[in-house]
Structure 1
Amino acid sequence: LGFAAWEIAQAKLLWLPRPFFGTPQDLLDVFLTDWKRLGDSLLHSLGLLAVGYGTGSALGIATGVGLGRSPRVRYWVQPVIRLIGPLPPVALLPVAFVLIPSSRLASEALLALAAGFPTAILTWSGVAAVDPAYYDVARTMGARNRFLVLRVALPAAMPQIFVGLFMGLGVSFATLVVAEMLGVKSGLGFYMQWAQGWAAYPNMYAALLVMSLMCTGLVTLLFKLRDRVLSWQKDGLKW
């Protein structure tokens, strides 16, 4: 019904201006004729996002654990996080492209920053909120500091960590598109810019659809990972 209404409104009644808005047939034609370029752009975007988001998430968790467990780490790292963390990663694009010779490495660094800041803050919050009695019981049974971090602090803070991971993934999506439009000569963002430059608006909408499916799929995978890791509190999950 939706496609039929779209076809009638645009192909028969011309309610929306052409060529900015096409018909369902135009969109289908893009997927049939340009699927190789779309697929290649999707793979480039996924590769860039995997490196940047994965690196930023890992560093964010490590930084958050250090902030939550060590006063010395808080003394040195907290001012840096307060200075750089709140800045939008896309605002640092010109600086990154100047300081880092490779546009891909610069984009990966910005994606790591986008994912790392919320993950570090939420991990810090989760680790700092762990009941000290858990540590006391573990120490009584002979636990060392490594055990306290890996088997006490991280599992207890995992709900907060996943909140940070979801927030970081959302910011990383926005940073990815801007970085591909302005610096990286590949990916869905670059494909969209190319399509707009040639007034190939159906191609642009096809890239938007692919990007939406990519984001939805990654969020769904992260939800499944969260449900598996936090299966011990399944009845308490409300989001």
Structure 2
Amino acid sequence: MKKKVVLFLPMLIALLDVVIEFAIPTNEVINTNGVHYFGYLMLIIAGIYLILGIRACISNTYWCHYYGKIKFHSVAIAFLGLIEILTDKLVVLPTVYFPSVNNILACAIAEKNMLAACTLYSIRLLFLGTIFGGAIGVFTGILMGWSKTINYWVAPISRFIGPLPTAIWIPIALLVFPNLLSASVFIVALTMWFPTNVQTMSGIQNVKKGYYDVADTMGASTAYQIIHIAIPAAMPQIFVGIFSGVTSSFISLMLAELMGSKYGIGWYINWKQQIMAYSNVWIALVILAILCYSTIQLLFALRNKFLGWKEGMIRW
């Protein structure tokens, strides 16, 4: 019974935040036009956790998945309530740099169209850069890992170009590429390419030679050995390279959007920071964090799909 009550702890804390929001008056310094956005957000969150709690009570399988996350979720919701008290109610923190959750949500609603356009622009740039960079990185990594001749000529170039900071390539990209979008895609793709290339090459080189000996005995062609032996055996390291490349690409994404773009989360953050609109900066940072988290979760899902045969053997 006690464990079942704990399942609804996040909901209870969210409801406590609702009480705090509506019961404690907002400080006169704060201007939210009387709209309690934070209270409405906590009501929605409370409803969501009510549904999740009921589901956990019904399903033992979901209970095992949900129970371990309750403490973290509860503390996170309580932390939001604490921030709202320190900013919206007591104004303990400087309001210019630390706006209340109410003000952040108000800015998000007021500029939803601009934020949506900037988010879609960043997603497009990140998608193009990671796809091109990842594909080229995997391809060159396979060639370098398989062929000693190709590795001899290409590896020194890879080791020279790859570690260079991305910012160094910005003026070169602006000169070489015909438009700003292609230059930005190049910056993101270059960041994605190096770790993917290195990890793929390492994975191919570390495949046990006994596998190839068996394949040679059975008359398998070189193409068959690469596609059906080398690549599947190297997949765990290939995914590590893709994961490293994607996380690094978010940094390059911000740099690429500062090259003169008129949209993008990085451009939006820089613009709002210059005019001291930190409520907008915070909501853009939240959107960026959600985008990064969603991308990483997608990578985990792809890893589980393609590496199901190695479940339990790799952890990252």
- The two structures have a TM-score, normalised by structure 1, of 0.96
- Structure with bigger RCO (C-alpha 8 Å, 6+ apart): 1
The residue aligned with 1:204 is 281
The residue aligned with 1:227 is 304
1:112 to 189, 207, 211: 189
CA distance in 2, matches of 1:185, 1:152: 46
| Count of residue pairs brought into register by the alignment | 239
The residue aligned with 1:38 is 115
The residue aligned with 2:217 is 140
How far did 1:34 drift?
1.2
CA distance in 1, matches of 2:105, 2:190: 37
1:86 to 144, 149, 163: 163
Amino acid at match of 1:172: S
Q: Where does the alignment leave 5 or more consecutive residues of structure 2 unmatched?
A: 1-77
1:215 to 288, 292, 296: 292
CA distance in 2, matches of 1:128, 1:4: 52
Residue pair 2:88, 2:102 contacting (<8 A) in 1 also:
no
How far did 1:3 drift?
2.7
2:257 to 161, 176, 180: 180
CA distance in 2, matches of 1:46, 1:222: 15
Using the TM superposition, name which of 209-218 and 23-32 deviates more.
23-32
How far did 1:102 drift?
1.4
Q: What is the CA deviation profile of residues 92-111 of structure 1, one whole-angstrom value per residue up to 9, with x for unaligned ones?
A: 21222222231211111111
Mapped pair 1:61 → 2:138: yes
Mapped pair 1:6 → 2:83: yes
Amino acid at match of 2:302: L
Q: What is the CA deviation profile of residues 188-236 of structure 1, one whole-angstrom value per residue up to 9, with x for unaligned ones?
A: 1111112112222111110000000000000000011001100001021
The residue aligned with 2:268 is 191
The residue aligned with 2:151 is 74
CA distance in 2, matches of 1:110, 1:146: 32
Residue pair 2:115, 2:284 contacting (<8 A) in 1 also:
yes
Secondary structure in 1 matching 2:163: coil
1:162 to 239, 246, 249: 239
Residue pair 2:236, 2:314 contacting (<8 A) in 1 also:
no
Using the TM superposition, name which of 81-90 and 2-11 deviates more.
2-11
Amino acid at match of 1:84: I
2:229 to 134, 152, 155: 152
Amino acid at match of 2:132: T
Q: What is the CA deviation profile of residues 105-146 of structure 1, one whole-angstrom value per residue up to 9, with x for unaligned ones?
A: 111111111011000000010000011111111122221111
Amino acid at match of 2:157: V
2:96 to 11, 16, 19: 19
The residue aligned with 1:52 is 129
Amino acid at match of 1:51: L
The residue aligned with 2:200 is 123
Amino acid at match of 2:167: V
CA distance in 2, matches of 1:15, 1:97: 45
Using the TM superposition, name which of 191-200 and 49-58 deviates more.
191-200
Amino acid at match of 1:162: F
CA distance in 2, matches of 1:53, 1:193: 23
CA distance in 1, matches of 2:171, 2:92: 41
Secondary structure in 2 matching 1:150: helix
The residue aligned with 2:18 is none
The residue aligned with 1:171 is 248
CA distance in 2, matches of 1:231, 1:155: 12
